[in-house]
Structure 1
Amino acid sequence: MNVVERFLGYTKINTTTNQANGAAGIMPSSEGQYELACLVKKELEALGCTDILLRDTAILTATLPSNTEKKLPTVAFFGHLDTSSERTEDTHAVVVHYKGGDIPLATGPVLSLAEYPELTNYIGQDIIVSDGQSLLGADDKAAIAAILNALQFFKDNPDVEHGMVKVGFVPDEEQGLLGANAFDVDGFGADFAYTLDCCGIGEFVCENWNAGNAVVTFTGQSAHPMNSKGNLINSLLLANSFMSRFPEKETPEHTEGREGYYWMKKLAGNSAKTVLNMDIRDFTESGYMYRKAFIAEQVRMFNEENNNRATLELSDRYSNVHNFLKGSMLPVDLAMEAYKENDIEPKVIPMRGGYDGAVLSEKGLPCPNIFTGAHNFHSIFEYLPVPSLIAASNVVKTIIINLTKHEEV
């Protein structure tokens, strides 16, 4: 079975994450994720993996045993089982040979060159697309296919020296990194890891947000319009006044690269009580701490002016992976070496979001991110160039082989 056949087989299983179930603490949030994990488990068995464990949560782990006497670090690779909830339809993926121009999808939508000019990079290549009614699911089934394809290489080439390799596949990444948060890093036994998630060929992530949440609750005073003068205190207007205190340009729509922001994410309530949910994002630890302190100070000053009608809850969501790579850059160095050996130009980018590796890193498993080769995640125009998928798998294979140069002393 080649990597394309693996990927297409995975796309036939609907693994859309279920937001309601996830919010209720049900994991996996959708039955398809467990079904996919069962299929991958069978494939891991056929590849000669050991210590295969599939939990009720759909968290799946396995080991490729070492075939060397060298004492090597143990590397791991991760993918997630779910697809985003933007679309819930079953995927009907097809492979097209791209000759240039637009790509008409089977049900009518058009993958437009004008909108997606990077398509020109893939002229003459086979590209996998959906029928235009669903997500393709390369986020993140391309990762699973790339990882298992690399393991297939070592089964087919038993004389190629390698150390112990761990693999992990987790559910519900698309809603708060639930699977990674539930993952037992200590029991897993890896020294460092890589996720494969997002990004065109060559992209590499070893930085992401320091991310947190702020919930500000405004308590007003309700009154009937007949006697509201001097009595009504409208919590909606209190919230609006509070939001006006924040820098106008430090929002998602005005920032890029490593620029942090405050995001007024959700506002719900009535005149008596209103709840504001905010996202806090910054790449630096100092910047992140400043932003949390700034919010706390705004609430303090607001309460001085408004008779203590606001309460604040601050919480951390995930940290920047870079915070946990400071002790050893081996994971980054190995990846860069593997990119270059496969004639892939590294494009190191900061991820303006979170991914499983952020949580795993904070738990003690340093985990940068390798490309899958796909584009337009969370869209019906998601597409996956086949050579990019093969390249992702080759990077995994090369990292495993090159790790034999790093025997522990």
Structure 2
Amino acid sequence: MDIVSRFIRYTQFNTTCNRKNAAQGQIPSSDGQWELARHLENELIELGLEDVNVNDKCIVTATLPANTNQDIPTVAFFGHLDTSAERDTDTNAQILPYNGGDLCLNPELGIYLKQSEFPELENYLGDDIIVTDGTSLLGADDKAAIAAIMNVLAHLKANPEIPHGTIKVGFLPDEEVGLRGAKAFDVEAFGADFAYTLDCCAIGDMVYENWNAGDVKVVFHGQSAHPMSAKGKLKNSLLMAHKFIAMLPGGEAPQYTEGREGYYWVKELHGSSAETVLTIDIRDFTEEGYEQRKVFMKAMEASCNALWGEGSVTLTVSDRYSNVENSLKGENRYPIDIAKAAYAQCGITPNVIPMRGGYDGSILSQNGLPCPNLFTGAHNFHSIYEYLPVKSLKAASDVVLAVVEQTRRHFDKSAS
């Protein structure tokens, strides 16, 4: 099966995550993820991989044993099974030639992928592009990753003369709803030395830097009173929450920041005059900056309690995930070096970008499995305008294969 047919086959599984089910602790959050997992299990068995398993959390794992006596660390590749919840309709993927201008996705509904809105289309003039009919997501996030990885496994099985070390693969559920598959993943039992996720962006993009991320929960304790006798008694927790929000740094919010600029993101507010709960995301690329933001939050709590009375505000901070770069420093930098060598082998110039978000590798890395993030080649994730140039998909698979080769070369060179 060629990689394009493989990808389109995977898009036919509706693996939309379910936020409500996820919030209730169900993993995976949708039945479609089980269906794709079982399909991949069968494919991996048919390919002849070993230790093929789908566990009770819908995590798919398998091993391609080494075919050389060279001492090579075990490399792993990961993709995620679920697609984002922005759309839950079935995917109707189609391959269209791009000859410039706007690309019509659905003539009946008048839906176009407009060159004026997506100028990077010019980079794919003359290419075939995989799109939807404009009524769903494409699911390249992250089925393009699964297709690229499975394509490499099939290639290596069909060409046993290509020397390689042990290769492991993992396909995880519910990345889109809190990286829940990665959090449930047993890194130690898996047995890999380093890994790569494929969960990013255009051809050439590479990520080994993302947020240090934390969750802040602020509870405002008020005092309710009947308005007839409220004077001097009513302590309105809703107004306290609004004043707290107003004291946050005005320009340090997602809508005002970019690149490596951190922020405070007011996510949710609910309650009554008696008690109100506020949730805030804090994000920073540096460990120092992240710690300073946590200190600032606690200082806000102390200041408000001094203003409104002790016990008026209770604030807790919990860490969500850390910057992958924290796990890729010094002697642990070799996965980055191998990836860059793989890009060069494929004639691709790396475009190193910071990810203003998290991905499964964030969790895997902090749990002891260093994990940069490679491109799938797709654009416009989480949108009906998501598209995947065929050449970019093939390039993603080529890079995975090159990583296998460069891993062998890197450690052969180190040994000598």
TM-score range, shorter chain: over 0.9
Give 2:327's aligned residue: 324
AA matched with 1:67: N
CA distance in 1, matches of 2:131, 2:73: 38
Per the TM alignment, residue 256 of structure 1 is displaced from its structure 2 partner at its CA by 0.6
Moved more, 244-253 or 207-216: 244-253
**Helix, strand or coil: the match of 2:332?**
coil
CA distance in 2, matches of 1:322, 1:256: 18
Q: Does 1:256 align with 2:258?
A: yes
**Helix, strand or coil: the match of 2:343?**
helix
Q: Does 1:311 align with 2:311?
A: no
Give 1:158's aligned residue: 160
Q: Percent identity?
A: 59
Give 2:29's aligned residue: 29
Pairing partner for 1:213 from 203, 212, 215:
215
Pairing partner for 1:387 from 385, 391, 396:
391
**Helix, strand or coil: the match of 1:350?**
coil
- Superposed CA deviations along residues 168-214 of structure 1, whole A, max 9, x for unmatched, are 00000001000000000000010000000020000000000000000
- Superposed CA deviations along residues 304-324 of structure 1, whole A, max 9, x for unmatched, are 110121101110000000000
**Helix, strand or coil: the match of 2:155?**
helix
Give 1:372's aligned residue: 376
Pairing partner for 2:242 from 230, 240, 243:
240
Pairing partner for 2:172 from 167, 170, 177:
170
Give 1:3's aligned residue: 3
Per the TM alignment, residue 140 of structure 1 is displaced from its structure 2 partner at its CA by 0.3
Give 1:274's aligned residue: 276
Per the TM alignment, residue 91 of structure 1 is displaced from its structure 2 partner at its CA by 0.5
**Helix, strand or coil: the match of 2:42?**
helix
AA matched with 1:8: I
Is residue 199–residue 375 contact of structure 1 (8 Å, CA) maintained in 2? yes
Is residue 95–residue 128 contact of structure 2 (8 Å, CA) maintained in 1? yes
CA distance in 1, matches of 2:297, 2:97: 52
Give 2:192's aligned residue: 190
CA distance in 2, matches of 1:36, 1:108: 32
Is residue 78–residue 168 contact of structure 1 (8 Å, CA) maintained in 2? yes
Is residue 77–residue 198 contact of structure 2 (8 Å, CA) maintained in 1? yes
* TM-score (norm: length of structure 1): 0.99
- Superposed CA deviations along residues 116-150 of structure 1, whole A, max 9, x for unmatched, are 00000001001000111110000000000000011
Per the TM alignment, residue 343 of structure 1 is displaced from its structure 2 partner at its CA by 1.1
- Superposed CA deviations along residues 199-238 of structure 1, whole A, max 9, x for unmatched, are 0000000000000000000011111221122221111110
Per the TM alignment, residue 284 of structure 1 is displaced from its structure 2 partner at its CA by 0.3
CA RMSD, 1 decimal: 0.9
Pairing partner for 1:333 from 317, 337, 357:
337
CA distance in 2, matches of 1:375, 1:281: 24
Displaced runs of 4+ in structure 1, greater than 4 A? none
**Helix, strand or coil: the match of 2:381?**
coil
Pairing partner for 1:398 from 397, 402, 405:
402
AA matched with 1:76: A
Structure 2 unaligned residues grouped into runs of 5+: none
Give 2:76's aligned residue: 76
Give 1:52's aligned residue: 52
- Superposed CA deviations along residues 269-325 of structure 1, whole A, max 9, x for unmatched, are 111111110001000000000000000001101101101211011100000000001
CA distance in 2, matches of 1:282, 1:262: 9
AA matched with 1:324: S
- Superposed CA deviations along residues 333-374 of structure 1, whole A, max 9, x for unmatched, are 111111111111110000000000000000000000000000
CA distance in 2, matches of 1:4, 1:84: 21
Per the TM alignment, residue 108 of structure 1 is displaced from its structure 2 partner at its CA by 2.9
Is residue 205–residue 350 contact of structure 1 (8 Å, CA) maintained in 2? yes
Q: Does 1:346 align with 2:342?
A: no
- Superposed CA deviations along residues 223-280 of structure 1, whole A, max 9, x for unmatched, are 1221122221111110011111111001111111011011111111111111110001
CA distance in 2, matches of 1:110, 1:198: 24
**Helix, strand or coil: the match of 1:300?**
helix
Is residue 108–residue 132 contact of structure 1 (8 Å, CA) maintained in 2? no
Give 2:146's aligned residue: 144
Per the TM alignment, residue 56 of structure 1 is displaced from its structure 2 partner at its CA by 2.1
AA matched with 2:89: E
Is residue 175–residue 359 contact of structure 2 (8 Å, CA) maintained in 1? yes
AA matched with 2:241: A
Give 1:283's aligned residue: 285
**Helix, strand or coil: the match of 1:329?**
helix
Per the TM alignment, residue 43 of structure 1 is displaced from its structure 2 partner at its CA by 1.2
- Superposed CA deviations along residues 99-129 of structure 1, whole A, max 9, x for unmatched, are 0111111243211111100000001001000
Matched length: 409
